[in-house]
Amino acid sequence: MKNKRAIIFKVLNKIAALSLIVLLCLPPLAVPFQTFAMFVSNAESGGNRFTAGKLSIEAAASTAGFVPEAIKTGETAYRSITVSNNGSLPFWYRTSVEKIDGNTGACESLRLVARLNGMLVYDGNLLENATSTEFSGSSQIGDSSAVDQWRFETYFTRSVSNVPYDGQCSFKFVFLAGQIGISDSAAGFSDNTEILNNIFLNRAATPNVDVIYPDGGQLWYVVAPQCPNNPSCSLWCSTRNPDPMNGDCQYKIRWTAHNPYGADSDLRIDLYYSNNSGRTWLAPFATNEPNDGEYLWMVPYDTAYVSHTARIKVVAYSPNNPAFTDWAMSERDFCPPMLSMEDLMNQIAAEAETPGGGSSGKPQAESDASVSPSEISPMTAEEINSAIDQIRDATSTEAADDGVSGGAGKSIEIKPFAAPGNSGAGPTIETIAGPPAIIPLPSNEESATSTDTE
């Protein structure tokens, strides 16, 4: 009886435990057909490397420009250019010519010969159309150890009459590089470089220039800048004889400049002053002036302009072509003495007391700017001694170190002026010491030369 009860009790306990398990699992079992799962997988890739690349084309010219830069018809100018790889990527490239500026006639008259590493790659007009030319071939450069050598030759092919006298052509060589192995021209790396060029037409004939005044022997004055503002001083300037100024104390420089290929008005003018017979020149006192044949100039109140060996140089040129230029200077020396404002007023007062006006009672001679050199009479001894007295009064010891020949304390021989063709300058009149006497002296150069004045 006791055993039956024990068995019944164990059965009831198992039923209770099973019921509890069923109650705990019942909610999840109430949602049918849902199953949750997660899968995880790892993968690795090794041996990868990324490298930055650079495409750079370099062009270097052996000279700053074509040599020579100015050529005549029939002459040839040369220029060499080296193309190299300045990056890490190999590239192909093509070469072209593009016009920048200049005279159309000159650019169209130029012919170009191009050689790559000694091989002819182009021989034809510099510009195949109005603006550019592209060479048919191209080249490849793999790395920095490889270079291409270009040699360009250019020359005028048309007759001189068809090329403007002021001909100039500005153009550039363009080297355009692209990445090798990229079929799409819009993709991949690219680079370009340019070399600028100028070619001028150098005519066999140049402008014909002549200095009319001053041509030598004149007595100009370096006067104080206050002088034109004083009525008496202004009148003194305008009544100088034989070399008058205007009321503003300006001298009229005169010249002729003829253009053999076009209108004279196409030329421009620069003016220079020399205090040593044209061996050296001060900075130009007028530039880019019209070629109208005259220029008014008041000599600067500066000891650099005080000289007994002064000359004027006139340079005529084309503004479009610096190769088309020429110049001329005064045939003989002239002299500008310096007069301070006080010196001028004293001289004006002295002239007012002189019968007939002027520095002496006799009439002044005609300006030698209007007569030929052979008609200029030598100065008399009395005239020279009178000029010496005026110079002593007008020249102070402070102005002795003025850059002209003959410094303070140096003896200077004063000789009468001799016109070309005379046997000599005449006897010595007087020897003085001190600042140089500013009167006309015979020039050592009877004609202008270009060998020692550039």
How high is the mean pLDDT of the chain? 75
pLDDT digits (tens, 9 = 90+) for 84-140: 998 888 888 989 999 998 877 888 888 999 999 999 999 998 888 777 888 766 678
- pLDDT at residue 394, as a whole number: 52
Please compute the mean of the pLDDT values over residues 210-235 and round it to a whole number. Answer: 90
Residues 205 and 211 sit within 8 Å (Cβ to Cβ):
no
Q: If pLDDT is split at 50, 70 and 90, which confidence band does 454 have?
A: very low
Domain boundaries, the chain: 57-201, 208-376
Q: In 3-state terms, what secondary structure has residue 432? A: strand
Share of the chain above pLDDT 90, in %: 33
406-419: pLDDT as tens digits: 333 333 344 443 43
**Rounded mean pLDDT, 197-217:** 91
If you search the block for the tokens 């020429």, which residue do you land on? Answer: 326
Residues 6+ apart with CB under 8 A from 195: 59, 61, 81, 172, 173, 175
Q: Is the domain defined by 57-201 classed in CATH 2.60.40.10?
A: yes
Least confident of 7-11, 151-155, 376-380, 417-421: 417-421
The encoded tokens of residue 160 equal 């001189």
What pLDDT sits at residue 279? 95
Share of the chain above pLDDT 70, in %: 65
Q: With a cut of 60, say whether residue 43 has pLDDT above it.
A: yes
Mean pLDDT (whole number) for 55-62: 92
Which of 57-71, 282-296, 336-350 shows the lowest mean pLDDT across its residues? Answer: 336-350
Please give the residue that has the higher pLDDT: either 333 or 102.
333
Q: Where are the alpha helices (DSSP H) in 209-309?
A: 231-238
CA atoms of 275 and 220, how far apart (whole Å): 13
Quick one: average pLDDT of 314-322? 91
Model confidence, pTM:
0.59
pLDDT for res 27: 57
- Reported as a single tens digit per residue, the pLDDT across 251-310 is 999 999 999 988 999 999 999 999 999 999 999 999 999 999 999 999 998 989 988 899
Question: Where is mean pLDDT largest: 180-184, 190-194, 290-294, 355-359?
Answer: 290-294
Q: If DSSP states are collapsed to H, E and C, what string results for 2-40?
A: HHHHHHHHHHHHHHHHHHHHHHHHHHHHCCCCCCCCCCC
Q: At what angle do helices 381-394 and 341-352 cross, to 10 degrees?
A: 140
Tell whether the model's pLDDT for residue 357 goes beyond 50: no
Strand arrangement of the beta sheet that strand 311-318 belongs to = 286-290, 268-274, 311-318, 321-329
| pLDDT average, residue stretch 384-404 | 50
User: Is the predicted pLDDT of residue 359 greater than 90, yes or no?
Assistant: no
Among the listed ranges 50-64, 229-243, 428-442, which one has the minimum average pLDDT value?
428-442
